[in-house]
Amino acid sequence: MTKRILLDITTLARASGHADGIVRTLRELARFAVANRPDIEFVLYDLDIDAPRLVNARWARSVIEGTAKIDMSYFPDRFAKKQRFRERLPKPLKRLFLWIQRPRRQVYLKLERLRLTGSRFADVAERLLPKLLNEKYRRELTSPDGTLRRLLPHDMALDDPPSLSSEDMLILAGSDWLAMYQQLALGRERPRTVVLCYDIIPLLFPQFFSEQNYTAFRACFHEVFPHADLVIFTAKQIVADAEAYCAQQGLTLKRSGLVYLGAKFDPIQQSAAPLPAGLTSGRYALFVSTIEPRKGHRLLFEVWKKLLAAGVPQQQDFKLVFVGRRGWLVDDLIAELEAHDSVGDSLLMLSNIDDTTLQQLYSQSAFCLYPSLYEGFGLPVIEAFRYGKAVIASNGGALQETVGGFSPSLDPRDEIAWYETMKTWMEDPSVRAGFEDAIRTRFKPRNWDEVAKDFYDLISRELAVPAAPARSDGL
């Protein structure tokens, strides 16, 4: 019988800026646990002592909701190629060195401690904290809605490591693969382990990652697949690809299951905010994604150059818009984009835009694009559907399952198919009207309560977890 169930929220504790798909998913699973699963406790993996530690009940909800994050600057960087100087120091000297290396952060943490403990200097600390924010810390601590996250000293936010046995259960649903690897290697008395696997992209496309990240990811999953008691996947294609990879590598999966992800959106607010300069409502195609090698920006760039050569965008007064920050291994592509005559004219590249502008870009677009070579889900497709927009999507990874027949799914390597489809959709809007009607009348994303219930029910069925008692920890 399972004694304790622990959900690792390390990914939430370190999250900054806009939440990616993994952060959103873990947040919703944790929220559901707070509301409906009092038997679940929350842990963070402490790299300094190589053990999970319980998140103090006073702060767990704030971390889950994203209104606070836990300071991990003291933790060693296990992904670093070379051990940092401070990590070779004894612990007392390491703390002193942090004051020399990061004095602003240490002062900030001291003031947060004064404020959070209700010190008689709490009001002074509250007034001083914003003055210490430079641009780096403002990006780290500012939520998408503009509010300031609290930075919790880790010794305040974390309790002692729980005593774990093979009768306990650890649920890993974040993106901290090294922590996952360490936790699975806790020893002979390690807890039963459940892993939520969103995709295995680094294993399938190592050329799109640094050797260091690929090596770490591979080591983690070669430990995860044979030793996890249950691996939950998020799409049938991910299951098939993982099983094929395991067969090729001689790895085994004890148990696996499938839970489709969901989406949660606030009601669309009507806005009079203008579109970015140069754009006209209904006269552009929109692609929202970080610029990474596998996302398909190069494909669209090559197709767009051919469309320009044929005069199609000029005749239709049509533009292509990329929205997203620059990622890794794309310097050559960025250089080509910036050197091309179309950039700034018929091809716009936008980044660091606010939510209101992004909403306007979606709502005023003619249609959207998502040519990614491989995705574990493809949330931007669902976001486009939310606005009633049809999407020319790829069939890479789980995208065909996500699209679900509400839009075409093309081979992300078939440049001709993308050229013909984009040309047709620009020249004849009636061709995409059937997709738009179906999206508006029949599309309904799964809500997160359904996803979380299915997730925990699957664990209970597969691993015989008993019913939950009433919560008594104050959450």
pLDDT digits (tens, 9 = 90+) for 2-32: 689 999 999 999 887 777 889 989 999 999 9
Q: What is the pLDDT of residues 318-350, one digit of tens each?
A: 999 999 988 888 888 888 888 887 777 899 999
Q: What is the pLDDT of residues 271-290, one digit of tens each?
A: 677 899 999 999 999 999 98
Q: What is the pLDDT of residues 85-100, one digit of tens each?
A: 767 777 778 878 888 8
Closest CA to 195 of 226, 168, 232: 232
Residue 193 CA, distance from chain mean position: 21
Spell out the domains of the chain, with CATH numbers in brackets: 1-71+153-262+446-474 (3.40.50.2000), 79-140 (no CATH), 284-445 (3.40.50.2000)
- Helix spans in 310-388 (H): 312-316, 331-339, 355-364, 379-386
The letter for the amino acid at 366 is A
Q: Give me the phi and psi of 133, to 5 degrees please.
A: -75, 110
pLDDT on residue 319: 96
The letter for the amino acid at 82 is K
% of residues, the chain, pLDDT over 90? 58
Closest CA to 450 of 28, 10, 7: 28
